[in-house]
């Protein structure tokens, strides 16, 4: 699989004030990963309301355009490529549970494409990995048909900037801690605590690469009373310091309206 993929170009779009996507018909496939703000795109006859973490696929030969003006700042990664079969493409539109990994792969792909010394094959390989990651995330999101799991997962996602523990989640939903963790492990084998950490790390990593915040400000935002513990926590989960993470894959082609 993925043998005929060809990367064309990609980058990160950042709006300046009000913005509306221009009308286009492209001769490639485009993947958009929304990172900030809300924007509106019609592809074919369907309007998609894009918010941070949303994935949108725009197909070759189908007109797409902005249906409304975005008044807040908007940013998103965009990747153009050709050669994918229908089975290799992610869904047209979905919101994965964990966007951080796909976002990191995208940054790496664009960095390699824009940095001298990396062979063309490296971007093609990373494009394959990105599509595999998006498809895998879509499959994992199918667990959302379990009401308890889906409800707990969303509550954790919204509240993971707080110092919550498994016991806090169990208390919130009036369930025994062990029972709730057993239900959660049916869909997320690593367990509820690991999911809390994953969501917290996802938001921290987003702020590191997308926001002009100091490390101290980020630590405070995510309720770390001890700044040194924040540094230790991040390195334990990511393997590198937050400073080094912020510096990875910096060579990103950014375009504006």
Average pLDDT over residues 136-160: 79
What percentage of the chain exceeds 90 in pLDDT? 66
Average pLDDT over residues 56-62: 96
Model pTM greater than 0.75?
A: no
Q: What is the pLDDT of residue 94?
A: 86
CA–CA gap between residue 135 and residue 41 (Å, rounded): 22
CATH number of 6-141: 2.60.120.280
The H or E element containing residue 17 is none
Structure tokens at 84: 């994918």
Average pLDDT over residues 35-57: 93
Tell me which CATH homologous superfamily contains domain 146-247.
Homeodomain-like (1.10.10.60)
**Strand (E) positions, the chain?**
6-14, 29-36, 39-43, 46-50, 55-58, 64-66, 75-82, 93-94, 254-256
Lowest mean per-residue pLDDT among 61-70, 138-147, 196-205: 138-147
For residue 79, count other CB atoms closer than 10 A to its CB.
24
Q: What is the pLDDT of residue 246?
A: 87
Domain residue limits, the chain: 6-141, 146-247
User: pLDDT, tens digit, for every residue of 178-220?
Assistant: 888 888 888 888 899 999 999 999 899 989 988 889 999 999 9
- Checking if the pLDDT of 88 tops 80, the result is yes
Average pLDDT over residues 124-128: 95
Nearest alpha-carbon partner for 96 in 12, 25, 157, 43 = 157
User: Whats the size of the chain, residue-wise?
Assistant: 257
Place of tokens 């405070």: 220
Start-end of H helices in 18-164: 100-113, 120-140, 147-159
Do 146-247 and 6-141 have the same topology in CATH? no
């Amino acid at each position: 699989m993925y043998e005929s993929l060809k990367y064309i170009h990609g980058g990160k779009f950042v709006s300046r004030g009000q913005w509306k996507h221009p009308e286009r018909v492209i001769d490639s496939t485009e993947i958009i990963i929304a990172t900030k703000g809300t924007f509106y795109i019609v592809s074919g006859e369907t309007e998609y309301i894009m918010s941070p973490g949303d994935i949108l696929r725009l197909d070759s030969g189908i007109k797409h355009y902005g249906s409304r003006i975005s008044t807040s700042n908007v940013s998103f990664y965009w990747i153009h490529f050709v050669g994918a079969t229908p089975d290799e493409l992610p869904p047209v539109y979905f919101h994965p549970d964990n966007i951080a990994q796909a976002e990191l792969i995208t940054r790496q792909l664009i960095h390699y494409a824009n940095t001298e010394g990396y062979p063309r094959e490296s971007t093609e390989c990373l494009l394959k990995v990105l599509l595999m990651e998006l498809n895998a995330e879509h499959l994992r999101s199918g667990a959302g048909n379990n009401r308890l799991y889906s409800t707990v997962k969303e509550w954790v996602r919204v509240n993971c900037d707080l110092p919550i523990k498994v016991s806090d989640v169990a208390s919130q939903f009036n369930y025994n801690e062990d029972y709730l963790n057993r239900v959660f492990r049916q869909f997320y084998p690593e367990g509820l605590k690991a999911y809390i950490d994953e969501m917290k790390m996802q938001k921290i990593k987003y702020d590191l690469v997308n926001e002009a915040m100091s490390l101290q400000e980020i630590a405070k935002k995510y309720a770390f009373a001890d700044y040194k513990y924040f540094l230790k926590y991040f390195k334990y989960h990511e393997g590198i310091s937050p400073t080094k993470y912020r510096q990875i894959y910096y060579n990103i082609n950014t375009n504006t309206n």
